[in-house]
Amino acid sequence: MYFKIEKKLKGSLGRVGILETPHGVIETPAFVAVGTKATVKSLSPELVRDAGTQVVLGNTYHLYLQPGDEIVRNAGGIGKFMNWLGPTMTDSGGFQVFSLGAAYGKDISKVTKVTDPSLMIPERFDDSDAPRLAKIGQDGVSFKSHLDGSIHYITPEKSIEIQHNLGADIIFAFDECTSPAEDLRYQEEALERTHCWAERSLKEHKRLVQENTLRHSHSVLEGQDRTGRSEDFSGYSPALFGIVQGGREESLRKKSAEFIKSLDFDGFGIGGSFAKEDMSTAVKWVNEILPEEKPRHLLGIGEPEDLFMGIENGVDLFDCVLPTRLGRNGTVYTKTGKMIMTNAKFRNDFTPIEKDCECYSCKHYTRAYIAHLFHGKEMLAGTLASTHNLYFIVNLVKKIRQSILDDNFFEFKEESLKNYLKNS
């Protein structure tokens, strides 16, 4: 992997760059489409590509359970398996520590508001007897499969091994994503685990890289490949990103950034939980410390206002499930805010979702037709709405990138958010 900064945003940490991977170049900042199970939900790879998407992210935990990381490896890696020809990423499974642990069965998000009752009533989470599908130990995490109830123990080493089998261009160190409701003491304990797991992830990654290089050299000398894979990528070496945690605490965020930057990672992820009101501050704390010459990825964040915030504060990559999740449930993005397609007013509206939008859905279908599909519970409804949403977010980031190149980022930000937020 090679990263080059092409231009910096004056008066901030923002920048425009080029990220070269074995499967193509990513122009940063960029939005990463989430393909949890080697598919971007309800969309074909062609629709994802035509939306302008440059890179897709798969989920380590889910692909490990189904179909199994070795099957993906034998298919030639996640990209070939899902017929995606561009760059790919996989997360570490660390988010499932949160979603299947503290957040399981509860209405808790990694991004909340300071006034959220969950942050004001800690005893709500003092529920060791509550059902959870993930239990955390010092060495790793015990997961109970949501598919069949089987028990799986994932350590940093296991996560890296799975990700090497999945064959993405960029992978992440195993970490613990904590609930925004956890107290300072627990956040400190979790951060120490994450730092220990980061060192172990990096050590295992280097071991596998060396092992793969030796195996590849041996195969070349023998003139054959004995891996049983549909495509030989035994000499392949992914880039590994370390993850900064620390929740909402300034001292922990800065401590984590200092520690993670001291390790030999190829880039960095910014993970964990945030309060909506102070997310920009937390991201800035971290990116003021992380080395400028390496790329930074903000994990699980993708609302339009958060994209502007992250880019202004030095983020290069984002991933989020919202474009397709909202789309499947009938909500679409527009420049003037979100629209709910099941509203009665759209039943006789024969205009596109957005008149000047160049996405497949807007070029071929009307609000009335898409509303009809949702009312009729037709699968195509989610496809058309998700196609529009992914196009909207991917190309919003491209426009933000261009605004930095054109030296009008702050004007573009003000105008865009003024129009968007007034109806959202």
pLDDT in tens, 73-90: 999 999 999 999 999 999
C-alpha angle 250-251-254 in degrees, rounded to nearest 5: 80
According to the model, what pLDDT value does residue 226 have?
A: 44
Checking if the pLDDT of 183 tops 80, the result is yes
Checking if the pLDDT of 222 tops 70, the result is no
Give the residue among 37, 32, 141 at the shortest CA–CA distance from 87.
Answer: 32
Q: What is the DSSP string of 111-177?
A: EE-TT-HHHH-GGGG--TTS--SEEE-SS-EEEE-TTT--EEEE-HHHHHHHHHHHT-SEEE----P
According to the model, what pLDDT value does residue 100 have?
A: 78
Q: Residue 121 — very low, low, confident or very high, per pLDDT cuts 50/70/90?
A: very low
Structural domain boundaries in the chain:
2-202+239-320, 331-421
Mean of the pLDDT values across residues 187-191? Answer: 94
Q: Is the peptide bond before 323 cis (omega within 30 degrees of 0)?
A: no
Q: Where are the alpha helices (DSSP H) in 262-366?
A: 279-287, 304-312, 322-328, 360-364
Mean of the pLDDT values across residues 352-358? Answer: 97
Alpha carbons 174 and 156: distance in angstroms, whole number: 5
Instruction: Identify the residue with better confidence: 101 or 289.
Output: 289
* Cβ partners under 8 Å of residue 220, min gap 6: none
Q: Residue 134 — very low, low, confident or very high, per pLDDT cuts 50/70/90?
A: confident
Instruction: Identify the residue with better confidence: 127 or 183.
Output: 183
Find the range with the poorest average confidence among 224-233, 263-272, 376-385: 224-233
Instruction: Identify the residue with better confidence: 337 or 177.
Output: 337
Alpha carbons 316 and 393: distance in angstroms, whole number: 15
Mean of the pLDDT values across residues 341-362? Answer: 97
Partners of 267 in the β-ladder = 241
Most confidently modeled range among 31-35, 134-138, 232-236, 245-249: 31-35
Pairing of strands 274-275, 111-112: parallel
Q: How many residues does the chain have?
A: 424
In the annotation, is 175 catalytic? no
Pairing of strands 141-144, 134-136: antiparallel
Q: Which CATH class is domain 2-202+239-320?
A: alpha beta
Mean of the pLDDT values across residues 316-321? Answer: 97
HSE (side-chain half, CA atoms, 13 Å) at 27: 13
Alpha carbons 126 and 157: distance in angstroms, whole number: 30
338 burial level (CB within 10 Å; 0-12, 13-18, 19+): middle
- Contact in structure between 270 and 246 (CB atoms under 8 Å): no
Give the residue among 264, 149, 63, 247 at the shortest CA–CA distance from 256.
Answer: 247
Give the residue among 204, 96, 207, 100 at the shortest CA–CA distance from 156.
Answer: 204
Mean of the pLDDT values across residues 370-387? Answer: 98
Interval 92-102: pLDDT, tens:
988 887 777 66
**R_g of the chain, CA atoms, integer Å:** 21
According to the model, what pLDDT value does residue 61 have?
A: 93
Q: What is the DSSP string of 255-282?
A: HHHHHHHTS--SEEEE-S-EEGGGHHHH
Checking if the pLDDT of 179 tops 60, the result is yes
Alpha carbons 261 and 17: distance in angstroms, whole number: 20
HSE (side-chain half, CA atoms, 13 Å) at 168: 27
According to the model, what pLDDT value does residue 316 have?
A: 98
Alpha carbons 332 and 355: distance in angstroms, whole number: 14
Interval 12-69: pLDDT, tens:
999 999 999 999 999 999 999 999 999 999 999 999 999 999 999 999 999 999 999 9
Reported pTM: 0.91
According to the model, what pLDDT value does residue 110 have?
A: 65
Give the residue among 165, 154, 174, 170 at the shortest CA–CA distance from 81.
Answer: 165
Partners of 134 in the β-ladder = 143
Mean of the pLDDT values across residues 357-371? Answer: 98
According to the model, what pLDDT value does residue 353 have?
A: 98
According to the model, what pLDDT value does residue 116 have?
A: 56
Mean of the pLDDT values across residues 306-326? Answer: 97
According to the model, what pLDDT value does residue 103 have?
A: 65
According to the model, what pLDDT value does residue 278 have?
A: 79
Which of 126, 148, 319, 349 is catalytic? The answer is: 319
Alpha carbons 250 and 252: distance in angstroms, whole number: 5
Mean of the pLDDT values across residues 294-312? Answer: 97
Give the residue among 394, 266, 375 at the shortest CA–CA distance from 324.
Answer: 394
Checking if the pLDDT of 239 tops 90, the result is yes
The tokens 């955390």 sit on which residue? Answer: 136
According to the model, what pLDDT value does residue 62 have?
A: 94
144-164 core/surface letters (b: 16 or more CB in 10 A; e: else): beeeeeeebebbbbbbbbbbb
| Average pLDDT over all residues of the chain | 90
Instruction: Identify the residue with better confidence: 117 or 263.
Output: 263
Tokens, residue 26 = 């990513």
According to the model, what pLDDT value does residue 181 have?
A: 77
In the annotation, is 264 catalytic? no
Instruction: Identify the residue with better confidence: 128 or 308.
Output: 308
Most confidently modeled range among 120-129, 174-183, 221-230: 174-183
Which of 69, 91, 306, 316 is catalytic? The answer is: 91
Alpha carbons 363 and 130: distance in angstroms, whole number: 49
